[in-house]
Structure 1
Amino acid sequence: MLRLLLLTERFPPDIGGVATSAGRITQVLTQLGVEVDVVTWSRYLQPGEVSATEIPQVYRVGLYRHWDMTMPSTLNFLDWLHQSRRYDAIWGHYLFPSGFLATWFGKLQGIPSIVSARGNDVDKEMFPPGDFARLKWTLETADVVTAVSRDIARKIELLSGRDDVAVIYNAVNPEVFTPLESIDEARIRDRKTNLGIQPDEVVLGFAGELREKKGQQFLLQALTKVREKRSACLLIIGEVRASQEALLQSYTAQNPDYAIRVIITGHLPDPEAVAQHLQLCDVYLQPSLWEGLPNALLEAMACGCGCIASDAGGIPEIITHGKDGFILSRSHLHRLGEAVLEYLDLPEETKQEITKAARDRIYTTFSPTQEKSYLEAVLNRLIPSSS
């Protein structure tokens, strides 16, 4: 049995796409017969303190204030762990710090390393204040590099000169993220009432941590534009990053009547709860400025939402404009509200065709079966070098 160490900045129950994908990949690797241990970091432990849980085996390491202390401390822990567990390979989930540390540790110990680029980690390390030299070394040195989209894979190939980047698309559980038709309309009405959504309101949806790179200002502008024509609310399925609360406060001061129709759920405890909220949305918006392959967009499409998204990152690999959703250039995101109104004015039959095509697209290309197949192919590349 292959024994693998997964190093990731976040892991469930942490929130965010990195945590979600790390948990899902660990589960799939275990199904493939791989023995996986996870090392992640925690802000809720004392610096250098370690806590452990089982099934899966997860070690949480307390962060120091700066990475120049956290990284050596983590390497010491990895060294101690490897002495007792003897791993066949190490997997860094996200380029920095996980990917860099995994690659360095792999070279020190003589075991193969896998590095996964997840989203904006390439762009973030390419430009100041990122560390371009460390980024380039990691991508050139890791034994296997994976990316969540062809867009990221192409950037990695340009940076590193390698031509063997494996694309592993994110996956959506079709048993959890399903369309509205399968749920009693009375229950839907009750959910809307509990959230304060009015019976006649169009629900504009967004899921995730609301912040600048996700196009927060364009979501608020879209709400303003739509409410000039229709009764509408903006449902934020998730949280607002603390650093971005000032923009929301400014919007409230300038548009108090509209701001009260911004409904924020806060962190939801499980995927089922996220799906139930997505099913309330008439149109889902993903106006990202930078992106990898957003799980939230995949989940919204699987839930039968009409989706309008930017052309950031791998989004054009998900949506075919006009067929299973709509894409708006990042240079035209100021017209997001107009795009929403145009979508809402489409004949009901046309909207149903689009949402059905979206569901079919997700279930065909972004299924757990497909992700399992991608991961198995990566392991097949890794196993010969670790034997």
Structure 2
Amino acid sequence: MSDSPRVLLIAERFPPDIGGLARSGARTAGSLVKLGARVDVLAWTRTAAPGALQTVEDAGDVSPFARGVTLHRLGLFGSTDLSMQHTLDVLGYLHAKQRYDLVWGHYLSPPGFLAVAFAESVGIASTVSARGNDVDQLMFPPGDFARLLWTLQRARVLTAASADLGRKMCMLLGRDETVEVIPNAVDTGIFSPGPADPALRERLGIAPDEAVLGFSGELRHKKGLPFLLSALTEVRRVRPACLLVIGEVRPRDAEHLVAFRAEHPEDAARILISGPLDTPEAIAAHLRLCDVYLQPSLWEGMPNALLEAMACARPVIASDAGGIPEAVDAGRNGFIVSKALLNHLGQACLDVLSLPLEQRAAMGAAARQRIEERFQAHAEAEVLRRVLARAIPSRSS
């Protein structure tokens, strides 16, 4: 193991945090371990005292994706500048002990910026991974365009969750660059077709005649929260339906639900929120309850939750944000609504729910086939191996 590359991955979110960003960080770290790297993760948390460093020797205890990863959780201070300055000190402490070969920023800011800045300061390689709306968010005020551009210019290897994000990174750099697109990998053994669990349906309070509109992850504005609410109202004018949120609503976006409850109390009563789920198996069981899965995102990289729903052979309706059209072929394995026309989401739901069961099943089967063809662990591992070879060629042979 002495010749194994030492990698430190910096992540803003990591299990037990919920959401696609946390899951993709765990999966990337775990996949690097399978390729023979020794991997540490530094992730921030508000559950620890400010500045406190907690270490989990095997992150498989918090996520099955991250077996063999050493996880360091660092308590945040009240202000971002203090937290980031202290993080640099902690990175120095960890590097003195482990002597990393590569620092990996999982999301462009702040993890990517810190990864590049620290790597530059100690003379080692860095790579950054654009995952979602991080490029769009930093391009415009109050985002920090100068920091974004510096990060992209100084990282040794650029990676992205979708080809769309890669094109945006090249546009900002003003030159062609080899951006490694790391396809999100779905465990198709866990996320698989199957019958809905009637006991789970009953436990969640879903009525026998209700159509289930599904969403998975942390629901917030960028994921299309207002359009999901209006779609629920529109569908319920025609037929019984509920909105199943597989996860939770981001606290600062909860005010949208409060306003919706005041205006549409009966519809709001049919919003069912599972809360955080402990295992991928539990998420898959909830996805199988969905008659149609919705991903009306305004900005995206390549949403894990959408891919997991497709792997479960759910009919999906998604926006055309980010890399979504790289997974969803409109009319073949799902349906696309332009992100400029998401006010039509409710009608799209009604159209899909009115299709014959055989046609919806065929759509779901085609969705699963797409996942099996393009979003499997072997495709992810191939790109990660290439990233390691480019970033630290002397340690990756």
Query: In which range does the TM-score fall when normalised by the shorter chain?
Result: over 0.9
The aligned residue for residue 279 of structure 1 is 288
Give the aligned CA root-mean-square deviation in angstroms: 1.3
The aligned residue for residue 15 of structure 2 is 12
Q: Per-residue displacement from partner, 1:330-362 (whole Å, max 9, x unpaired)?
A: 121111111111111222222121110000001
Q: Per-residue displacement from partner, 1:267-293 (whole Å, max 9, x unpaired)?
A: 111111111000000000111111111
In structure 1, C-alpha distance between the alignment counterparts of 2:26 and 2:257, rounded to whole Å: 31
1:292-371 correspondence runs (5 A): 292-371=301-380
Unaligned runs of 5+ in 2: 59-68
Residue 124 of structure 1, aligned match among 137, 140, 146: 137
CA displacement at 1:40 relative to structure 2: 1.3
> Which amino acid in the other structure matches residue 40 of structure 1?
A
The aligned residue for residue 3 of structure 1 is 6
In structure 2, C-alpha distance between the alignment counterparts of 1:238 and 1:84, rounded to whole Å: 37
Q: Per-residue displacement from partner, 1:221-241 (whole Å, max 9, x unpaired)?
A: 111111111111111111111
Runs of at least 4 residues off by over 3 Å: none
Judge conservation of contact 2:51–2:86 (CA < 8 Å) in 1.
Answer: yes
* TM-score normalised according to structure 2 size: 0.94
> Which amino acid in the other structure matches residue 47 of structure 2?
Y
Q: Per-residue displacement from partner, 1:241-263 (whole Å, max 9, x unpaired)?
A: 12222211221122122211111
Aligned: 1:234 with 2:243: yes
Judge conservation of contact 2:129–2:160 (CA < 8 Å) in 1.
Answer: yes
Q: Per-residue displacement from partner, 1:77-103 (whole Å, max 9, x unpaired)?
A: 111221221111111111011100110
> Which amino acid in the other structure matches residue 271 of structure 2?
V
* TM-score normalised according to structure 1 size: 0.96
In structure 2, C-alpha distance between the alignment counterparts of 1:316 and 1:220, rounded to whole Å: 23
In structure 1, C-alpha distance between the alignment counterparts of 2:51 and 2:271, rounded to whole Å: 40
> Which amino acid in the other structure matches residue 124 of structure 1?
Q
The aligned residue for residue 187 of structure 2 is 173
Residue 93 of structure 2, aligned match among 64, 77, 80: 80
CA displacement at 1:385 relative to structure 2: 5.8
Aligned: 1:266 with 2:284: no
Judge conservation of contact 1:214–1:289 (CA < 8 Å) in 2.
Answer: yes
Aligned length: 382
CA displacement at 1:383 relative to structure 2: 2.7
Aligned: 1:48 with 2:51: yes
Return 32-41 or 58-67, whichever deviates more. 58-67
Unaligned runs of 5+ in 1: none
Judge conservation of contact 1:177–1:275 (CA < 8 Å) in 2.
Answer: yes
The aligned residue for residue 66 of structure 2 is none
> Which amino acid in the other structure matches residue 97 of structure 2?
S
1:32-71 correspondence runs (5 A): 32-55=35-58, 56-71=69-84
In structure 2, C-alpha distance between the alignment counterparts of 1:18 and 1:211, rounded to whole Å: 14
Residues 162 and 138 (structure 1), Cα distance of their counterparts in 2 relative to 1, 3 Å cut: farther
Q: Per-residue displacement from partner, 1:102-131 (whole Å, max 9, x unpaired)?
A: 101111111110101110111111111111
* 2:158 counterpart SS class: strand
In structure 2, C-alpha distance between the alignment counterparts of 1:53 and 1:320, rounded to whole Å: 41
* 1:41 counterpart SS class: strand
In structure 2, C-alpha distance between the alignment counterparts of 1:249 and 1:79, rounded to whole Å: 45
1:167-246 correspondence runs (5 A): 167-181=181-195, 188-246=197-255
Aligned: 1:22 with 2:31: no
Percentage of matched positions with identical amino acids: 53
Judge conservation of contact 1:89–1:386 (CA < 8 Å) in 2.
Answer: no
CA displacement at 1:366 relative to structure 2: 0.6
In structure 1, C-alpha distance between the alignment counterparts of 2:339 and 2:105, rounded to whole Å: 30
Residues 385 and 137 (structure 1), Cα distance of their counterparts in 2 relative to 1, 3 Å cut: farther
CA displacement at 1:58 relative to structure 2: 1.2
CA displacement at 1:162 relative to structure 2: 4.4
CA displacement at 1:327 relative to structure 2: 0.3
